[in-house]
Structure 1
Amino acid sequence: MEHLILNLPGSLPHLSLLNSLISSSDSRISEGEFRFDQLQKHFDSLNVQYAFGSEDCTGIVKRIKYDSTTNTFTGFPSLLDHGMPVKSYYQTDSFDALKLWLNSISKASLLNVHMIQPVQSADNSSIPSPYLLSAYGIDNTATANDILQRWWYIFNQSLQRNIRIIGFSTGADLKHLRAMRLMSGFLGALPNFQVHQHPQAFQIKIRSHWSWFYLCEQELLLFFQDPTHLVTKWRNRLLSATADLCLGNQSVSINHLHDISENDTYSKLDHG
């Protein structure tokens, strides 16, 4: 980078200038901060109203770092209050307090990330880029109730800014799947939480012969599991010597894939 700057004067800004521009813009993200106001500006610039939310976590290197801009220590698992991370919780000027945290609190092993995908209108063929709403460290102790309260908070905060979240997507974690099931009313219900009576709930027209459809006729949100995790599960089932992959009343095995791949009448599109 420095070599390019020296040989192309005036064409590329210096690294210090780039860092200054990033620091002075809204690109900087503080751990545990949910950037709803910036999200609203992003949606206003795209002229879209509907969006799909996603939440997933990934493994990280356990490490404690000091953030001088917020005077906080990052790398500890975020404290959750009604499912929401408490911003700048690990903020102190006391060495004894830091020493106590290091000796009594395990480092965060996962990074939880929230993304918001704008949904473009039918007459717009371009797909808007997703927006990073928040990111923070966790230790996998959150419950399904924490996730439900977090989704509910994101939905309401977005709705106040004229952004309608139409659904959420997550990975294959059992807590996320339980939160999906309870929120959608799939063979379960939330006591004292009539989400299907929300004014923003939509009506599902169920056909009379859909005996397999177990969702409520009124839904507030849609839910999808991360396709990468789904395909991984399908692959493991196909390669398993003991488990079966069933679709309805029919089963699928690795032999079916062999028959398709070795049959010359099928094209690559048929294989997909």
Structure 2
Amino acid sequence: MAGMERELLPFLENISSYSDDVFYAFVKEFVGDVESEILEIQRIKDVRILLQVPDVFIFLQINSKGILKLKERACFVTNDLQYIVRPGIKSNLEQFIETLRKYYKSTSTNENFVSSQTTTNAIKETTHCMCHLIDIYQSNQPKSFINIFVSNLLKNMTRSSNNYQFDPIVNKFASVFNILAGNNAYEFIRLNLPGSLPSTTTLKTYNQNMNLQLRECEFRFDSLKDHLAFVDSNHVFMSEDSTGVISSVSYDSKNDCFNGFSPQLENGLPTVDQFQTNSYTELQQWFEDFDKSTLINALLIEPLIRNNSSLVHSRPFILSAYGTNNKYTAIDVLRKWMYLYHECKKRNINVVGFSSDCDSRYLKAMQLSLGFFIRAPNIDLLTGNNSLLEINIASHWNFFFIRSTKPYLCMQDGIHLVTKIRNRLLSETANMSINNEEIDVNHLFYIIQNYPKIDHNLVKSDIFPHDRQNYSSCLKITSDDVLNLLKHINASATYVYLYLLKLGILTYVKTDTDILVRLYYGWIVTFSYRMWWTSLQIKRNFSQKEKDNCFITRAAWLSSELNVHCLTAIIILVAEGRLPSYAINTHLFSSQPCEATFRSARAMTGILSSITNFSVFEFLQKIGKISILNQIKSTDEANDDT
């Protein structure tokens, strides 16, 4: 009985206030499920009624269909159909009632209630104080994390340190806390709150059981299928991007291979475990024959979610990552995309399209995929595929240039596109003009110097950013206040340039733009660029190089064209029922999931280190942690949604 008394001690003073569901939940937690049901079916809803009932088991002698299932769980049935209460259940309830009687008897006679010889006044005062701070069973949300956490902690306080047990919710919290705060902060909390969090060894086992660690060059198609089944989606958009890494070679003891060499590509694909060896001589030869990776390439999957809820922003799934020396071609990219497309098709996963930054090789691969003024040599993208995306293009649409039939769509990342157009304005070699009027960043500098900041909210770093990918400066230089001031100083060409940039942001970046408004703005930008380019081509006194310097970069122009064509194709396919309606969330079609993953990996550096970069091996270790975070977030969002 001493064990039950120790567990109940923190709650005895407040248990008299428990009633109905709160009381039954308390009994279920500390006594048992069947015991709680025995009290609930008799409407013994609080301690007062319980202590007045002479025999809580006598009702089991009644022949009633309403209690038949409970009798089968709580009793043994004899051959003559007599019901005998199971000894464990009877003992549990009797101990519980006896503990309550002893406590209330001691309070009525002003005597000290001592649960056992090992229970000291200090323990009693501590637990009594905790009950004053929070009464976990009177909360309106008995399944909230704080209730589960405190309940788990109080239970562990009655156990030996080598017998701590943890609720699955506490394990999940501990995993996230360890990943985000690091081992030092985690151990500081765990050691100062004994019984609150599992040990790092237990936590490592918990993370390994989630089986989300990524091997270099591995494509996790089967795990992807499971993830999509969980979030209820079978349409995806793939994004791909690269970031710099520390060029070093590390040994992966778990997979018995070396990470950090740049793997050879076969049909655009890297080989898993290419660098496995038991020979020191072979390893030495690899250092001579193979480049070290200077970049890490990541492939992420953005699920398109059916329900219009928070899950529209479902956490992306990390499909693959591998080091590279950046020596690959557009054909390598195209072959890799076709492999990914067909492997997903085998698993009933529909790839709507691919997205990347404005790298010239990815841009050419997109042109090849869509037949945009170019054809793929010796690569048949269409034959033998019965699930092609086909749009009905009107015969008079002489402004529409991609193929009517294609395996998938392609879109350049919106943020990369608008920053590339902004950076053209800052270029020292470009001399852009519209109708012989200059497009000049000095117009913005003039506004900063001659108008108060409250009128434009600009600073010098907005027009001369150190970070060429600074998207926030694009928003500031295209604000309505800045555009109005450009009108006022008669900088009409600069005004048109920045106004088109603003429309590009609304079309490809903003999340709240209506889909038809996106289409309208996208074609305004496209036709404006076409007219601008045409006006430059008819100038006979300009060389081709001079004409090119008066216009945006070719990569930015082609990216803008591809994006509006694919945006139009998506709307047509949705309207014709060939794509689901939720495919119009085109703001998700970008490489920003890759960028966010790279930022998260850099942010995981411990507090005792100032190094934010990583090697290929270190990135793969961090990817495992990021995958755990994404999995937990998706799980919790799904549970909240249901």
**Could you tell me the TM-score, scaled by structure 2's length?**
0.39
Match of 1:8 among 193, 207, 228: 193
Paired position in structure 1 for 2:324 = 138
Report how many aligned residue pairs link the two structures. Answer: 267
Q: Secondary structure at the match of 2:417?
A: helix
Match of 1:178 among 364, 387, 395: 364
CA–CA distance in structure 1, aligned partners of residues 339 and 433 of structure 2 = 37
Instruction: Indicate yes or no: 2:460 matched with 1:240.
Output: no
Match of 2:217 among 7, 23, 32: 32
CA–CA distance in structure 1, aligned partners of residues 440 and 344 of structure 2 = 44
Paired position in structure 2 for 1:80 = 265
Q: Secondary structure at the match of 1:92?
A: coil
Paired position in structure 1 for 2:205 = 20
CA–CA distance in structure 1, aligned partners of residues 438 and 347 of structure 2 = 47
| Greater radius of gyration (CA) | 2
Contact persistence 1:31–1:135 (CA under 8 A): yes
Paired position in structure 1 for 2:400 = 213
RMSD (Å), alpha carbons: 2.8
Q: Secondary structure at the match of 1:100?
A: helix
Greater Cα shift, 100-109 or 80-89:
100-109
Instruction: Indicate yes or no: 2:230 matched with 1:45.
Output: yes
Paired position in structure 2 for 1:65 = 250
Q: How far apart are 1:174 and its partner, in Å?
A: 1.1
Greater Cα shift, 9-18 or 168-177:
9-18
Paired position in structure 2 for 1:111 = 296
User: Structure 1, residues 75-113: CA drift from partner, whole Å, max 9, x if none?
Assistant: 000121111110001000111111111233221001010
Instruction: Indicate yes or no: 2:481 matched with 1:261.
Output: yes
Letter in structure 2 aligned against 1:165:
V
CA–CA distance in structure 2, aligned partners of residues 32 and 228 of structure 1 = 28
Runs of 5+ unmatched residues, structure 1: none
Q: How far apart are 1:54 and its partner, in Å?
A: 0.9
User: Structure 1, residues 120-155: CA drift from partner, whole Å, max 9, x if none?
Assistant: 125445222110000000101111111111111111
Contact persistence 1:183–1:195 (CA under 8 A): yes
Q: How far apart are 1:183 and its partner, in Å?
A: 0.9
CA–CA distance in structure 2, aligned partners of residues 131 and 219 of structure 1 = 25
CA–CA distance in structure 2, aligned partners of residues 125 and 210 of structure 1 = 38
Q: Secondary structure at the match of 2:311?
A: coil
Instruction: Indicate yes or no: 2:285 matched with 1:100.
Output: yes
Q: How far apart are 1:196 and its partner, in Å?
A: 4.0
Q: How far apart are 1:203 and its partner, in Å?
A: 2.2
Runs of 5+ unmatched residues, structure 2: 1-185, 445-476, 486-501, 507-642
Identify the structure with the greater helix proportion.
2
CA–CA distance in structure 1, aligned partners of residues 348 and 232 of structure 2 = 11
Q: Secondary structure at the match of 1:195?
A: coil
Q: How far apart are 1:191 and its partner, in Å?
A: 3.8
CA–CA distance in structure 2, aligned partners of residues 17 and 245 of structure 1 = 62
CA–CA distance in structure 2, aligned partners of residues 27 and 259 of structure 1 = 43
Q: How far apart are 1:18 and its partner, in Å?
A: 2.2
Contact persistence 1:171–1:225 (CA under 8 A): yes
For residues 114-125 of structure 1, the aligned pairs below 5 Å read 114-121=299-306, 123-124=308-309
CA–CA distance in structure 1, aligned partners of residues 438 and 368 of structure 2 = 28
CA–CA distance in structure 2, aligned partners of residues 258 and 182 of structure 1 = 33
Q: Secondary structure at the match of 1:5?
A: helix
Contact persistence 1:203–1:217 (CA under 8 A): yes
Contact persistence 1:234–1:245 (CA under 8 A): no
CA–CA distance in structure 2, aligned partners of residues 90 and 227 of structure 1 = 37
Letter in structure 2 aligned against 1:162:
N
Match of 2:339 among 150, 153, 174: 153
Distance 1:193 1:98, change over 3 A: closer
CA–CA distance in structure 2, aligned partners of residues 112 and 246 of structure 1 = 38
- Percent of pairs with identical residues: 36
CA–CA distance in structure 1, aligned partners of residues 247 and 417 of structure 2 = 28
Q: Which has the higher contact order (CA 8 A, sep 6+)?
A: 1
Letter in structure 2 aligned against 1:177:
L
Paired position in structure 1 for 2:275 = 90
User: Structure 1, residues 189-219: CA drift from partner, whole Å, max 9, x if none?
Assistant: 1244442453211222334554331101112
Contact persistence 1:170–1:176 (CA under 8 A): yes
User: Structure 1, residues 25-54: CA drift from partner, whole Å, max 9, x if none?
Assistant: 321111010000100100111111100001
CA–CA distance in structure 2, aligned partners of residues 114 and 98 of structure 1 = 28
Q: Secondary structure at the match of 2:321?
A: strand
Paired position in structure 2 for 1:195 = 381
Letter in structure 1 aligned against 2:225:
Q
Contact persistence 1:83–1:147 (CA under 8 A): yes
For residues 157-172 of structure 1, the aligned pairs below 5 Å read 157-172=343-358
CA–CA distance in structure 1, aligned partners of residues 219 and 410 of structure 2 = 21
Q: Secondary structure at the match of 1:54?
A: strand
CA–CA distance in structure 2, aligned partners of residues 217 and 258 of structure 1 = 35
User: Structure 1, residues 228-250: CA drift from partner, whole Å, max 9, x if none?
Assistant: 32122111112235536799xx9
Identify the structure with the greater strand proportion.
1
Letter in structure 1 aligned against 2:328:
A
